[in-house]
Amino acid sequence: MADAVMVPDISRTVQKWRSKPGSLIMALHEIQNRYGYVPRNVSLQLAQLMNVPLARIYEVITFYNYFRLEPPGKHNLSVCMGTACYLKGAPALLDTLKNELHVEEGETTPDGEFHLESVRCVGCCGLAPVVVANGETLAKVGVNAIGGLLARCRNEQKED
């Protein structure tokens, strides 16, 4: 079995959301917040507990690009490609990260350390271009800062 989460218990999540509008999406949000992605065995359990076809769950997961089907990397890097960030150089940041990490958007490095993605406006356009690194919003990021950012992540990993 490939999934990292072997015996998830999502019964409380299902109970919490079952009777509310948008229950499937809310339950999926809670699951992703807990595991960092939506593991397949959790989707199977969710389908049974909510009495929803598995195909419907995957329809929702694949429709919203917020949801992930793969575990994220240890370090998650999101380059904002919203208009303000795009105009202030986000494409160059994304290209630099792709080259440095040898991954495409949406991919995780083979060692599982870095996950790279692009996102739409994260709501702080005045700080463009923005990179969100492990949940921390970095402002006015220049291409020259990418090496330092990756080094900092790698150092944190050594200190763990």
Please identify, using beta-carbon distances, which residue of 52 and 121 lies nearer to ligand FES. Answer: 121
Q: Scanning residues 81 to 110, which ones bind ligand FES (CB under 6 A)? A: 82-85
Neighbouring C-alpha atoms within 13 Å toward the C-beta of 64: 15
Backbone angles phi, psi at 138, to 5 degrees: -105, 130
The answer to whether 3 and 41 are in contact (CB under 8 A) is yes
With left for phi above 0 and alpha for psi between -120 and 50, is residue 106 left, alpha or beta? left
Please identify, using beta-carbon distances, which residue of 44 and 124 lies nearer to ligand FES. Answer: 124
Please identify, using beta-carbon distances, which residue of 80 and 101 lies nearer to ligand FES. Answer: 80
Strands of 114-119's sheet in order across: 114-119, 75-80, 131-133, 136-138
Q: Scanning residues 113 to 132, which ones bind ligand FES (CB under 6 A)? A: 121-125, 128, 130
- Give how many residues touch ligand FES by CB under 6 A: 12
User: What's the burial of 78, exposed, middle or buried (CB within 10 Å: 0-12/13-18/19+)?
Assistant: buried
Please identify, using beta-carbon distances, which residue of 121 and 145 lies nearer to ligand FES. Answer: 121
Backbone angles phi, psi at 53, to 5 degrees: -60, 140
Choose the stretch contacting ligand FES; rule: CB under 6 A; options: 10-18, 26-34, 58-66, 78-86: 78-86
Q: Which DSSP state fits 126?
A: G
Least distance (Å) between residue 92 CB and ligand FES: 14
Least distance (Å) between residue 17 CB and ligand FES: 30
Tell me: does residue 26 bind ligand FES (CB under 6 A). no
Residues that bind ligand FES (CB under 6 A): 80, 82-85, 121-125, 128, 130
